[in-house]
C-alpha cells in the first residue's frame, strides 16, 4: 500500500478547502435562492447560519479527519465503530451528489464553449430560455460535457493529493478570485446598478418567512461542503501544524464572501437590463446570456463568467469525488488510479441517466420528481442535514474530549473557555438548529 498523501503547504490546505466549498452552490445556487427568497433578508440569515452552524460543524469534521488520517468511513471506524454508519452515509451521499453535480458542471462547460466560439450572444430572453431547455433535454452535448468533466476530474485526482488536488486548487482558486473581482467591478459600473445592490444588501424583513430561514440554513450547509465527510477526507490530508479552527473560519468567510460577490456580479446586471431576479435555477443560464448580449464586450464577460463558474464547479466536484475514491482505494486496497477508474466509470453511467432525466427519461419519476430532482432532494435536504447532525453529536457527546483538545491545541485558560462554548454548540445548538430545519421542511 502506497504511503498516504498529504497537503504540502498551508496555502494549499486553504485553497483546497475553499475550492471544495466555493462551487455551483455559491455562484449558481446562492443568487437564485436569494432571488426567490427576497434578497437582503435572505443574505442576512445566511450569514448568521454560516457563523453559528457552519463554522462549528466544519471544525468538527476537521477534528475527525485529522485525528485519524483516514477516509470518511475509516475515520469513524477507527474512533468508534458504532458510528461508522455516519461514514457510510457520507460516501453514499457523495456518490449521489456527484451524479447530478457532474451534469450541471457539464452545462457550465457547454456555456463556456458557446461563449468562446462566439455563438452564445445575440438572442432574446425567450430564445435563451428555449435554448437552455433544448440543450439540457438533448442527448449528445450534455453527455459529452459531463463525460469530459468526469475525465478531467479523474485525471487530476489520480495524480494524488499534492500533485493533483493541491496543485489544481492552487492554480484555479486564485484565478477564480481575479475573475470574480473583475466581473464585480464591471457590474457595479452598469447604469442602475444600485437597484441590484439594494436588492441584495438591504434586508426587507417583511419578506422573511419560515421558508427563507430553512432555505438559508440548507444553503449554508451545502455551500460549506458539510455533512458528507468531504471535509473529513480533506482534513485527513492536513499535517499537524494546520490550525483547524482558523482554517475553518477562513474558509467559511471566503466562501461567504464569494457568494456575496457573485450576488454583486449578478443582481446589478439583472436589474440594470430590466430583468426579474426571481428566475429560479435558470438564472445564470437563461438570464445572464441576455445580460451579456446587451453589454459592451459581451463575449469577453461571458467567457470570464462561465470560466469562473466552471472552475468553481470543477474544484468542488473534485472534492466530492475524492470522498468516494479515498474510501474505495483504502477499503478495497486498490491503487488510487484503479479506484479512480472504477468510481468515475460508475459516475459516468449514473450521471448519464441523471442527465437524460431532462429529456428522454423525463417521464421516469421517483416520489413524484424526475431522477435529477429526486437525487438533489434526497441528498441535499435529507442526507446532508442528517450527516451534519450526527457528526456534531459524535464530536460533541461521544468523542474523547482529549482528542478535541489536542486537535484544537487547547493550551491556555482562555482557550478552555472558548472550547466550552464550542462543545455547547456541537452538543446543542447545531443539532437543534439543523433538526428544526430538517423537520420543518416536511411540515412546510
Ligand atoms: N460546496 C460546494 C458548492 O457550493 C458543493 C460541495 C462540494 C458539497 N463538496 C460538498 C456539498 C460536500 C455538500 C457536501 O457547490
Q: What is the pLDDT of residue 235?
A: 98
CA distance 272 to 197: 10
Closest residue (by CA) to atom 11 of ligand 1?
225
The ligand 1 atom nearest the CA atom of 224: 1
Closest residue (by CA) to atom 12 of ligand 1?
225
CA distance 317 to 312: 9
**Is 21 close to ligand 1, i.e. is its CB under 6 Å away?**
yes
* Cell reading at 270: 439583472
**Is 20 close to ligand 1, i.e. is its CB under 6 Å away?**
yes
**Is 158 close to ligand 1, i.e. is its CB under 6 Å away?**
no
What is the torsion angle, in degrees rounded to the nearest 10, for the CA atoms of residue 402, residue 406, residue 409 and residue 410?
A: 10
Beta bridge pairs of residue 369: 366
Mean pLDDT calculated for residue range 289-308: 92
By residue count, the chain amounts to 444
CA distance 26 to 219: 9
* Cell reading at 290: 441576455
The ligand 1 atom nearest the CA atom of 319: 9
Q: In terms of Cα–Cα distance, which of 140, 139, 116, 136 is closest to 128? A: 136
**Is 223 close to ligand 1, i.e. is its CB under 6 Å away?**
yes
Q: In terms of Cα–Cα distance, which of 292, 406, 338, 394 is closest to 72? A: 394
Q: What is the pLDDT of residue 146?
A: 96
Q: Hey, which of 97, 220, 317 would you mutate to test ligand 1's pocket, going by the most ligand atoms within 8 Å of its Cβ? A: 97
Closest residue (by CA) to atom 14 of ligand 1?
225
Q: Hey, which of 26, 100, 316 would you mutate to test ligand 1's pocket, going by the most ligand atoms within 8 Å of its Cβ? A: 316
Q: Hey, which of 16, 18, 20, 257 would you mutate to test ligand 1's pocket, going by the most ligand atoms within 8 Å of its Cβ? A: 20
Q: What is the pLDDT of residue 227?
A: 93
Q: What is the pLDDT of residue 372?
A: 87
Q: In terms of Cα–Cα distance, which of 189, 430, 221 is closest to 301? A: 189
DSSP-derived secondary structure letter, 296: T
Reduce the DSSP state of residue 367 to 3 states and report it: coil
Q: What is the pLDDT of residue 393?
A: 97
Query: pLDDT class for 444, splitting at 50, 70, 90?
Result: low
Residue 201 has pLDDT above 60, yes or no: yes
CA distance 165 to 163: 6
By DSSP bridging, strand 365-366 and strand 369-370 are: antiparallel
Residue with cell 459600473: 189
Q: Hey, which of 16, 22, 23, 94 would you mutate to test ligand 1's pocket, going by the most ligand atoms within 8 Å of its Cβ? A: 23
**Is 230 close to ligand 1, i.e. is its CB under 6 Å away?**
yes
Mean pLDDT calculated for residue range 236-248: 97
Strands (E) across 286-424 are located at 365-366, 369-370
Q: Output the CA 23–ligand 1 centroid distance in Å.
A: 7
Q: What percent of the chain has pLDDT over 90?
A: 76
pLDDT in tens, 39-88: 999 999 999 999 999 999 999 999 999 999 999 999 999 999 999 999 99
**Is 323 close to ligand 1, i.e. is its CB under 6 Å away?**
no
Q: Output the CA 21–ligand 1 centroid distance in Å.
A: 6
Mean pLDDT calculated for residue range 227-231: 95
Instruction: Work out the end-to-end distance of the chain between its first and last CA atoms, rounded to an integer number of angstroms.
Output: 50
Judged by average pLDDT, the poorest of 6-20, 360-374, 382-396 is 360-374
pLDDT in tens, 318-376: 999 999 999 999 999 999 999 999 999 999 999 999 999 998 898 888 888 889 888 88
Closest residue (by CA) to atom 10 of ligand 1?
225
**Is 233 close to ligand 1, i.e. is its CB under 6 Å away?**
no
Q: What is the pLDDT of residue 376?
A: 85
CA distance 44 to 433: 16
Closest residue (by CA) to atom 9 of ligand 1?
225
**Is 187 close to ligand 1, i.e. is its CB under 6 Å away?**
no
Which DSSP helix (H) or strand (E) runs through 397? none
The ligand 1 atom nearest the CA atom of 316: 7
Q: What percent of the chain has pLDDT over 70?
A: 99
Q: What is the pTM of this model?
A: 0.94
Contact of 118 with 296, CB cutoff 8 Å: no
**Is 225 close to ligand 1, i.e. is its CB under 6 Å away?**
yes
CA distance 407 to 402: 8
Contact of 438 with 213, CB cutoff 8 Å: no
Task: Tell me, rounded to whole angstroms, the distance of Cα 177 from its chain centroid.
Answer: 16
Q: Output the CA 189–ligand 1 centroid distance in Å.
A: 31
Residue with cell 421516469: 364
Q: Output the CA 222–ligand 1 centroid distance in Å.
A: 5
Q: Give Dmax over CA atoms of the chain in angstroms.
A: 64
- Interhelix angle 384-393/430-443, rounded to 10 degrees, is 150
Q: Output the CA 171–ligand 1 centroid distance in Å.
A: 19
Q: What is the DSSP string of 3-67?
A: PPP----HHHHHHHHHHHHSSHIIIIIHHHHHHHTTTHHHHHHHHHHIIIIIHHHHHHHHHHHHH
Q: What is the pLDDT of residue 382?
A: 87
Q: Is 369 left (phi over 0), alpha (psi -120 to 50) or beta?
A: beta
Q: Output the CA 127–ligand 1 centroid distance in Å.
A: 31
Residue 2 has pLDDT above 70, yes or no: no
Residue 1 has pLDDT above 50, yes or no: no
The ligand 1 atom nearest the CA atom of 312: 15
**Is 26 close to ligand 1, i.e. is its CB under 6 Å away?**
yes
Amino acid at each position: 500500500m502506497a504511503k498516504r498523501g498529504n497537503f504540502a503547504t498551508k496555502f494549499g490546505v486553504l485553497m483546497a478547502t475553499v475550492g471544495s466549498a466555493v462551487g455551483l452552490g455559491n455562484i449558481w445556487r446562492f443568487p437564485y435562492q436569494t432571488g426567490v427568497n427576497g434578497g437582503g433578508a435572505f443574505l442576512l440569515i445566511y450569514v448568521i447560519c454560516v457563523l453559528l452552524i457552519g463554522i462549528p460543524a466544519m471544525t468538527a469534521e476537521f477534528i475527525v479527519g485529522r485525528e485519524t488520517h483516514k477516509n470518511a468511513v475509516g475515520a469513524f471506524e477507527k474512533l468508534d465503530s458504532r458510528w461508522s454508519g455516519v461514514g457510510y452515509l457520507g460516501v453514499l451521499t457523495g456518490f449521489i451528489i456527484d451524479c447530478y453535480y457532474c451534469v450541471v458542471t457539464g452545462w457550465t462547460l457547454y456555456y463556456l464553449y458557446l461563449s468562446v466560439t462566439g455563438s452564445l450572444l445575440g438572442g432574446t430572453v425567450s430564445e435563451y430560455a428555449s435554448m437552455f431547455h433544448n440543450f439540457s433535454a438533448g442527448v449528445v452535448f450534455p453527455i459529452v460535457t459531463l463525460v469530459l468533466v468526469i475525465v478531467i476530474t479523474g485525471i487530476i485526482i489520480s495524480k494524488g493529493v499534492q500533485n493533483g488536488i493541491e496543485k489544481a486548487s492552487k492554480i484555479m482558486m486564485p484565478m477564480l478570485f481575479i475573475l470574480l473581482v473583475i466581473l464585480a467591478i464591471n457590474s457595479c459600473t452598469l447604469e442602475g446598478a444600485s437597484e441590484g445592490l439594494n436588492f441584495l444588501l438591504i434586508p426587507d424583513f417583511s419578506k422573511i418567512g419560515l421558508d427563507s430561514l430553512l432555505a438559508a440554513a440548507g444553503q449554508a450547509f451545502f455551500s460549506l461542503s458539510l455533512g458528507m465527510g468531504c471535509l473529513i477526507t480533506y482534513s485527513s490530508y492536513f499535517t499537524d501544524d494546520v490550525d483547524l479552527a482558523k482554517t475553518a473560519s477562513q474558509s467559511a468567510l471566503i466562501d461567504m464572501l464569494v457568494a456575496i460577490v457573485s450576488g454583486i456580479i449578478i443582481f446589478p446586471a439583472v436589474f440594470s437590463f430590466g430583468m426579474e431576479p426571481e428566475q429560479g435555477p435558470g438564472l445564470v443560464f437563461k438570464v445572464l446570456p441576455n445580460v451579456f448580449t446587451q453589454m459592451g464586450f459581451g463575449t469577453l464577460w461571458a467567457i470570464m463568467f462561465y470560466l469562473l463558474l466552471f472552475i468553481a464547479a470543477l474544484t468542488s466536484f473534485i472534492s466530492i469525488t475524492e470522498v468516494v475514491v479515498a474510501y474505495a482505494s483504502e477499503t478495497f486496497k486498490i491503487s488510487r488510479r484503479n479506484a479512480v477508474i472504477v468510481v468515475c466509470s460508475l459516475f459516468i453511467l449514473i450521471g448519464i441517466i441523471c442527465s437524460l432525466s431532462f429529456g428522454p427519461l423525463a417521464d421516469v419519476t421517483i416520489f413524484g420528481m424526475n431522477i435529477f430532482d429526486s437525487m438533489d432532494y434526497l441528498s441535499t435536504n435529507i442526507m446532508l442535514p442528517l450527516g451534519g447532525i450526527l457528526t456534531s453529536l459524535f464530536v460533541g457527546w461521544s468523542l474523547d474530549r482529549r482528542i478535541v483538545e489536542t486537535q484544537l491545541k487547547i493550551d491556555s485558560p482562555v482557550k478552555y473557555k472558548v472550547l466550552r462554548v464550542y462543545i455547547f454548540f456541537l452538543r446543542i445548538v447545531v443539532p437543534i438548529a439543523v433538526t428544526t430545519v430538517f423537520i420543518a421542511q416536511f411540515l412546510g
